[in-house]
Structure 1
Amino acid sequence: MSGGQMKRIMIEVKKLRDIPQTFILEKAPDEDSSKVTNTRTASSSADSTSNIIIGRILPKSAPYSQGSYQVEIKIPADFPFKPPEVKFLTQIYHPNVDKEGKICVDLLNTAEAWKPTTPIVDIVNAVIKIIDDPKIDHALNAEIAQQYQNNRAQFIKTATEFVNKYALPRT
């Protein structure tokens, strides 16, 4: 990465540190990764062609508001011209998140939506928004989406079980 790209990333990291009510920064590209507890696998952080930001999102809606969820933001070498890749490291029961933690967020997945000026804070806010307000038409897990639409009580019960089993503390 060029010096200009690294400067941009550091500016973005500072902005992330300034939103503790929605995001807890755990690892920035300039920090030691040994202090991070990854709830999936550490192998995804060993990519020398990109920088990694790890933090926890703090959704507001039930049942997700009872915990925090670790996400990995992988910054590509050609950032900001290409969007970061975001995935959940904490297991979460949600129609817009697949079993590998990939999430469907328009801001990242459509060429028209991503702009080189888009702040990483906007990405974090978009992830939180889709967790709080699932988009069934962009579901990555059809079974969970169907349950969300047709049997909301069972969906909430199962999502709550996942929160209790996998979610991290909010502090």
Structure 2
Amino acid sequence: MATGTNTRILEAYSGLVEWARSTAGTPGRIYEHQGSSLEQSGDNVPTDERYNNSASSDSINYAIIIRGLVYPSNDPPFNGRGLPIEIRVPDGYPAEPPEVYMRIQLRHPNIEKNGRICTELLDPETGYEDMSLIEVVKLVVQLMKEPETDTGVDSEALYLYEEVQSTYNQNITAAVMAQERR
């Protein structure tokens, strides 16, 4: 395992992996674990430019980077399909919030251009309180289904979500389907 990774982070990570295993194949599954920087030595460096964009996190050291799929809904616009995410857990977790990135191009009111998912509940300056990695995943799933419209970072996606729902849903479905063809 990674040197310097504290026990609380390892316990939180193990809890997430076990939870993902216990819900696999069930109708209520919302997360599928795909791996982490602890499981793959040296082979976890993303090749896509999007993966490497660290936005506001240039000075943060990550204890672990977790990859998985979230399943927001069986209904449109997600239609039961998984969305690839990356959870970047800082050395200071759980006192410091993890950063979550969408690993596909998805126009959503709460996703920045670099893929970072923005919500007050993961912002250390406005609303973050210690939460488990399972709670982080559940938060992301809920946010994908019901965007926080008062704190949107993509104004065009926010407009479509609020005013032209059919176009918003078509855009989400198209992005999810395009990701599956890769």
Task: Give TM class, smaller chain.
Answer: 0.7 to 0.9
SS in 2 for 1:123: helix
CA offsets, 1:2-56, max 9 Å, x none? 54244324433333443431111111343116489876645469x9931101101
Structure 1 82/16 Cα, relative in aligned 2: closer, same or farther at 3 Å? farther
Structure 1 17/150 Cα, relative in aligned 2: closer, same or farther at 3 Å? same
Which amino acid letter does the alignment assign opposite residue 86 of structure 1? Answer: V
User: Unmatched 5+ residue regions in structure 2?
Assistant: none
Q: TM-score, normalised by structure 2?
A: 0.76
CA distance in structure 2 between the aligned counterparts of 1:64 and 1:40, rounded to whole angstroms: 25
- 1:146: how far off? 0.8
CA distance in structure 2 between the aligned counterparts of 1:109 and 1:6, rounded to whole angstroms: 19
SS in 2 for 1:146: helix
The answer to which of 54-63 and 6-15 deviates more is 6-15
2:128 counterpart of 1:128: no
**Residue correspondences, number:** 167
Correspondent of 2:15 among 12, 15, 21? 12
Once the two structures are superposed, the pairs formed by residues 20-31 of structure 1 within 5 Å of their partners are: 20=24, 21-31=29-39
Correspondent of 2:61 among 21, 41, 49? 49
Structure 1 6/123 Cα, relative in aligned 2: closer, same or farther at 3 Å? closer
CA distance in structure 2 between the aligned counterparts of 1:106 and 1:153, rounded to whole angstroms: 27
Structure 1 12/111 Cα, relative in aligned 2: closer, same or farther at 3 Å? farther
Q: CA RMSD in A?
A: 3.0
What is residue 155 of structure 1 aligned with on the other side?
Answer: 168
The percent identity for this pair of structures is 22
Does the CA contact (< 8 Å) of 1:22 and 1:59 recur in 2?
yes
CA distance in structure 1 between the aligned counterparts of 2:171 and 2:7, rounded to whole angstroms: 45
CA distance in structure 1 between the aligned counterparts of 2:167 and 2:109, rounded to whole angstroms: 13
Structure 1 119/31 Cα, relative in aligned 2: closer, same or farther at 3 Å? same
User: Unmatched 5+ residue regions in structure 1?
Assistant: none
CA offsets, 1:70-93, max 9 Å, x none? 111011011111011111112223
Structure 1 stretches of 4+ with a deviation exceeding 6 A read: 35-39
SS in 1 for 2:85: strand
- 1:104: how far off? 1.7
